[in-house]
A and B are shown apart, each in its own frame.
Chain A
Amino acid sequence: MPTLAFSSQLINLCAALLLLLSFAMLSQRRVLTLVDLFAMQGGTLFVSIMVVAWSTGQPHLYYSAALTLILKVILLPLILHRLIRRLGAQWESETLLNTPITMLAGLLLVIFAFTLAQPISQLANTVTRGTLGIALAVVMLAFLMMITRRKAVTQVIGFLAMENGLFFAATSATYGMPMVVELGVALDVLVSMVILGIFFFHIREQFDSLDLHNMESLKED
């Protein structure tokens, strides 16, 4: 069916966009911009889920799409923005490990992810074949980002980006998990955000900076 072909093209486009955005996040220094990028990623995710839902006519996917929209595109970015402003962290920018190298590593990761996902995608019976690899790539890139960043906030954003990747995998590769699970996951993400929010303030008052350099006292000396 052309529609299917069309929709799958759309989805692949979204996938490509997601990947691009993750790379952008990986290379982004400014915190606020990072949040915006994250929001855009969420948006792309939302679109892709909508497409999948529309093309396969799975009702519960609309719910999860809505969930994504509310949570990832509106709520979390808002919370983050306000947090960052309240913490006065918006001007904090951090030096990366060294952008070219990070990029290179990311590239390798993507290749690795694709090779990994290749055999699996072969036996996918969904409209969206290659997306699993991309989802994995997004997860790995987020992981890399968490490793390379030194600020609490950016680490959290990386964490959320990882969640995005997982969502994408869940929806695109498998037409979404059972509703219970989706709800549970979403709840967890929300709660963890709240807790993190609280944490930021604790960290602030204890270390008066969100820099993770201060948090290296517990070790085997």
Chain B
Amino acid sequence: MNVVTLITQFTEVILAVVAAPLLMGWVNQCRAWLQNRRGPGVLQPYRQIRKLFHKDAVMAANASPLFRLVPYVQFAAMCLAAAIIPSLWTGLPFAVAADTIALVGLFATARVFLALAAMDIGTAFGSMGARREMLVGFLAEPALLMVFFTASLISHSTSLPTIVETLAQGRLAIYPSLAFAGIAFLMVLLAENARIPVDNPVSHLELTMIHEATVLEYSARHLALIEWSVALKLFNYTCIGLALFFPWGLATGAHSLRDLLLAIPMTGLKLLAAGFGLALIESLNAKMRIFRAPEFLATAFLLAVLGLLVHLLLGS
């Protein structure tokens, strides 16, 4: 890999890290509009993060080093993920480090660490949150993996860039299997990013929350990192979705500067659209009872496997 690719790689990561809160803000803003509110504005997440960074950290007396380590691990994991996902172009040198399976593993690692951190303090809500987080995870992960499998069966590869390239250049090939996969992926995305209908990102009603319960004990910079990595996670997932199901416009192969300049606005537009769609879904649905979550995810898992079967059946 030459210097240029490395530079592009890093610029991409930086872009992702920077743009992630923006996406979050955009989604919230859209929701506000859909609920006829003015909304805090698109830049609100940045303000929050900045403020949190300046606060003094308050930490439970019996917190272990693990507890302090976790936010950094979270954030690092999401950055690495961002480096692997072809959000702008596919020629990512880092992509060899981890294919789709490793990507799923990466997300799993992040989740496990978060759950451990939640159990570390030993409050009722922390451990409850950890349990629910893992419950969501152990159904969402396989579903995500199956989605990837469907895609990689099409492209005979598990490395994300290759998948995206095959999907991107297959202009008008219609994959019915991908339809199933797409729905499944959407459900996983909602669950993984603690969105309605599985979880409510803005709720602080303890008994219903999942993700919030796990980070209840965090404050200041740690909380800032967590929030940021959450935004980054949403960004990553969205990018994955776009790359898999709307790969057009990504700079593929030997990327010339023209492609890149073309790719950036394309991706931007797609992200805006996706964000709006997400907000729409969240406004139209109501949060479901926590006990219904497994059924929801099981459905996702089933759809993904169905997609796999459909692919094998129709050979497409």
Decide if A and B touch, CB cutoff 8 A.
no
